Structure 1
Amino acid sequence: MPPMLRFTLYSRSYCHLCQDMLDALLALQSPARPFAVDVIDVDADPALVARFDELVPVLFAAPDGPELCHYVLDETAVLAALEGAARGS
């Protein structure tokens, strides 16, 4: 069984788009599609503010991988990442 996919969501505590993306992401979760989400507050790290600032929310399927989406959840990209993780690729 491949390891569970762990998304990383770069966010801000006062950002309604960030909460919307997290809610939309969690709505895709099911027993058939398990995953975890690490929510990182960009304002806690000046390097993250410099990197993401006005792009938040930003979602990654792997911290060193490409960005899946920002501002609004790209459901197609998320489902493709989950499918790839289920296949072990």
Structure 2
Amino acid sequence: MRPVTKLTLVSRRYCHLCTEMAAALETLAADFGVAIEVVDVDADAALEALYDELVPVLLHDGHELCHYFLDASKVRDYLSEIR
């Protein structure tokens, strides 16, 4: 059995774009059977230094897939390639 692919959403609590990306990811995650880990950028100084003004940021193994808005087409293509 293949391990579940995990995408990381770098987010913050008071960010409406973060809330919107998290909601948009639900369908995509279900379609591809991936897990979404939400990480608070403000809880980690290193993440904040990297992504502070870019949140929300969607990552897979440290590779940035998109930021600000979900690029569903790009993420779908990426997930299809890594399967």
Instruction: State the TM-score, normalized to the length of structure 1.
Output: 0.83
Amino acid at match of 2:51: F
- The alignment partner of 2:29 has SS state of coil
TM-fit CA distance, 1:34:
0.3
For structure 1, which runs of at least 5 residues remain unmatched after alignment? Answer: none
Between the aligned partners of 2:61 and 2:21, the Cα distance in structure 1 is 17
Matches of 1:14 and 1:60, distance apart in 2: 20
Which secondary structure state, in structure 2, belongs to the residue aligned with residue 54 of structure 1? coil
Determine helix, strand or coil for the equivalent of 1:84.
Answer: helix
Tell whether the 8 Å contact from 1:11 to 1:57 is kept in structure 2 after alignment: yes
Deviation string 1:52-88 (CA, Å, 9 cap, x unpaired) is 111000001223xx210000001112112221232xx
Q: Could you list the runs of 5+ residues in structure 2 that have no partner in the other structure?
A: none
TM-score, structure 2 as length reference: 0.88
Provide the C-alpha distance between the structure 2 equivalents of 1:41 and 1:74, rounded to a whole number of angstroms.
Answer: 21
CA offsets per residue over residues 9-28 of structure 1, 9 Å max, x none?
10001101001001111122
